[in-house]
Amino acid sequence: MSLIKSISGIRGTIGGKKDDGLTPIDIVRFVSAYAVWVKRGKSHARVVVGRDARVSGPMVESIVVGTLCGMGIDVVNIGLATTPTTELAVVGENADGGIILTASHNPQQWNALKLLNSDGEFLSAAEGNDVLTMAAKEDFDYAEVDNLGRVETKDYTNYHIDKVLSLKLVDVEAIKAANFNVVIDCINSVGGVALPPLLERLGVKNVTFLNSEPTGVFAHTPEPIPQNLTQISEYVASHKADVGFVVDPDVDRLAIINEDGSMFNEEYTIVSIADYVLSHTPGNTVSNLSSSRALRDVTQNRGGSYTAAAVGEVNVVTAMKNTNAIIGGEGNGGVIYPECHYGRDALVGIALFLSHLAHSKMSCKELRATYPNYCISKNRIDLNPSTDVDAILKAVEKRFANEKVTTIDGVKIDFADSWVHLRKSNTEPIIRIYAEAHSESEADQLANKIKNIIKEL
For residues 375 and 196, what is the distance between their CA atoms, to the nearest angstrom? Answer: 32
Find, among 175, 236, 244, the residue nearest to 203 by Cα.
Answer: 175
What is the DSSP secondary-structure string of 75-138? Answer: EEEEEE--HHHHHHHHHHTT-SEEEEE--TTS-TTEEEEEEE-TTS-BPPHHHHHHHHHHHHHT
Bridge partners, 246 (sequence order): 185, 255
Selected catalytic residue, list 104, 212, 287, 290? 104
**Is residue 331 within 8 Å of 312, Cβ to Cβ?**
no
For residues 57 and 54, what is the distance between their CA atoms, to the nearest angstrom? Answer: 5
Neighbours of 426 (CB within 10 A): 17
Find, among 408, 422, 416, the residue nearest to 450 by Cα.
Answer: 422
For residues 65 and 55, what is the distance between their CA atoms, to the nearest angstrom? Answer: 17
Collect all residues with Cβ–Cβ distance below 8 Å to 122 and sequence separation of at least 6. 7, 8, 9, 114, 115, 116, 313, 314, 317
Bridge partners, 14 (sequence order): 22
**Is residue 389 within 8 Å of 428, Cβ to Cβ?**
no
Amino acid (1-letter code) at residue 284: N
Give the 3-state secondary structure of residue 421. strand
Residue 439 known to be catalytic:
no
Neighbours of 234 (CB within 10 A): 12
Helices and strands in the chain, H and E counts: 15, 20
Find, among 49, 55, 127, 124, the residue nearest to 90 by Cα.
Answer: 49
Reduce the secondary structure of 304-356 to three states and give it as a string.
Answer: CCEEEECCCHHHHHHHHHHHCEEEEEECCCEEECCCCCCCECHHHHHHHHHHH
Cα dihedral 158, 159, 161, 165, rounded to 10, equals: 130
Catalytic residues: 104
